[in-house]
Structure 1
Amino acid sequence: MTTQTKPIEAYSLPTPNGQKVHIMLEELGVPWNYHRIDIGKGEQFTPEFLAISPNNKIPAIVDPEGPDGQPISIFESGAILKYLGLKFGQFYPTDPRQQVKVDEWLFWQVGGFGPMLGQNNHFNVYAPEKLPYAQKRYSDETHRLFRVLNIQLAGKEYITGEYSIADIASIGWAQSWERYGITQAEYPNVVTWIERLAARPAVERGLAWGKDVPQRSLADDKEAQKILFNQR
């Protein structure tokens, strides 16, 4: 098993995407350092951060012990999870068929589940004017995606059968199901799965990481909204 002597540097926040990396690092039990990037103040646009995350989004990591022994930086949460899973041989299968299954659900999360729930939240919480079509559009898509996940979890403890980066990628987004008007009766498999994951000590620590710093309420912070929204 690969060992890590130097800490992995994680540039992040306790958001659903940041929590993926926090959980993974906690599950692996490797040394790591947390660097808080205050996106409400525009810290994601500094040259230092853009050098490792050119899309100016968190999370990003720097592994000082990369594949050739030299440092490597990685942005995009799905890419980070897959890199760490491959490097440490944990939470990512070695069987090619199982790898395909995990990849499918990892990409399902980063390409659909996260972005659609994010748009739901944006139009229902942050939009300066209420747009019924947009609100219904993303509410409907949120329910559709929860239904897809609920069906996939039928008869399974984890998304692809065994605990993997597919679960780690999705839990941060799924745990806020009540915010989206989801009821336990609609998607009981999802709620049970959330409870099962939340009982894992590493998941509990990963979800809580960084929350000791008071979080800015973006719904009320107009200056932060100018930084975060409507960029061109």
Structure 2
Amino acid sequence: MTTSPYVPPKVWTWDAANGGQFANINRPIAGPTHEKELPRGEHGFQLYSLATPNGQKVSIMFEELLAAGHAAEYDAWLINIGKGDQFGSGFVGVNPNSKIPALLDLTGPEPVRLFESGSMLVHLADKFGAFLPASGAARTEVLNWLFWQMGSAPFVGGGFGHFYAYAPEKFEYPINRYAMETKRQLDVLDRQLAESAYVAGSEYSIADMAIWPWYGGLVLGRAYNAAEFLDVTSYKHLMAWAEKIDARPGVKRGRIVNKNWGDEAEQVPERHSAEDFAGKAV
């Protein structure tokens, strides 16, 4: 292994030219870059998102709620992060962290803003009494796994995915470091799913909805072109769970909401009603 000649300066300064593939949307400061109001549709929930794993969590939740008969109609608006939509003043007003997704709940006497996908899942689960036990040990177990995902996935996306797939150069040390951690997390899930039908027990929950877009997508070969590199087929229980979740109608619909790339049959850039899925691969 070679030793990098890089020596960190005493005080770091930002050089946008060194940002790699996402240099145009990464910066070390917060706040809006331009004035732009968010659109609003006719429904009580307004989702502003993109079909990345974090965005898929919430659109899957909405589609699962609708499939279960809940009055959870929503409008989903595309936030094109490559063009900097997340830095518009309206979006920053809902999510000061300038990351997708962002959600407005307009069903009550006062609008409720929600940022962070885990917060949205808990809010919607409690509001509709679905996919999260109301109390007790079963609720805590779901939250255990929800927060596990929120804390663990940055190692997969920002760590492994970045250095393996997106960094301008390949470096052995960070790829090895994050591959090791990613495989450890896959093993955590595989061992858990050897003992239970779903991540948090015998019932499908928001824990599955949060974890599947990241880890299900990874083992199903939809992320970073890394399935062979990570030997994902060795995680047999995880693979079976990923395929089981992938077959759910609500998941099939939710994962393509706010998607504007790839096969057109798997693109629903905006979603305002069930009719938007007509002719799609769902």
1:18 correspondence with 2:55: yes
Match of 2:214 in 1: 173
| Distance (whole Å) between structure 2 residues aligned to residue 136 and residue 157 of structure 1 | 31
Q: What's the TM-score, normalizing by structure 2?
A: 0.71
**Within 5 Å, which residues of 2 pair with 1:197-216?**
197-211=245-259, 213-214=260-261
1:82 correspondence with 2:135: no
| Distance (whole Å) between structure 1 residues aligned to residue 261 and residue 142 of structure 2 | 34
Answer whether contact 2:179 2:230 (CA < 8 A) is retained.
no
| Distance (whole Å) between structure 2 residues aligned to residue 136 and residue 26 of structure 1 | 37
Match of 1:140 among 180, 189, 204: 180
Higher relative helix content: 1
Match of 1:104 among 139, 144, 149: 144
Match of 2:278 in 1: none
What is the alpha-carbon root mean square deviation over aligned residues?
1.4
1:91 correspondence with 2:131: yes
Match of 1:150 among 174, 180, 190: 190
| Distance (whole Å) between structure 2 residues aligned to residue 57 and residue 19 of structure 1 | 13
Q: What's the TM-score, normalizing by structure 1?
A: 0.85
1:117 correspondence with 2:156: yes
Match of 1:224 in 2: none
Match of 1:126 among 156, 159, 166: 166
Match of 2:237 among 186, 189, 204: 189
Match of 1:54 among 93, 96, 105: 96
Residue identity over aligned pairs, in percent, reads: 43
Q: Deviation per CA, 1:86-122, whole angstroms, max 9, x where unpaired?
A: 111000111321111111100000111x211102110
Equivalent AA in structure 2 for residue 116 of structure 1? F
| Distance (whole Å) between structure 2 residues aligned to residue 100 and residue 214 of structure 1 | 37
| Distance (whole Å) between structure 2 residues aligned to residue 95 and residue 182 of structure 1 | 37
Q: Deviation per CA, 1:145-193, whole angstroms, max 9, x where unpaired?
A: 0000000111321011111000000111112224333335421011100
Partner-residue secondary structure (3-state), 2:55? helix
Match of 2:38 in 1: none
| Range moving further from structure 2, 179-188 or 196-205 | 179-188
Measured at CA, do residues 109 and 183 of structure 1 come closer, stay the same or move farther in structure 2, by a change above 3 Å?
Answer: same
Q: Deviation per CA, 1:6-37, whole angstroms, max 9, x where unpaired?
A: 43100000100000001000011111011111
| Distance (whole Å) between structure 2 residues aligned to residue 75 and residue 124 of structure 1 | 28
Gaps spanning 5+ residues in structure 1: where? 216-232
Partner-residue secondary structure (3-state), 1:9? strand
Partner-residue secondary structure (3-state), 1:51? helix
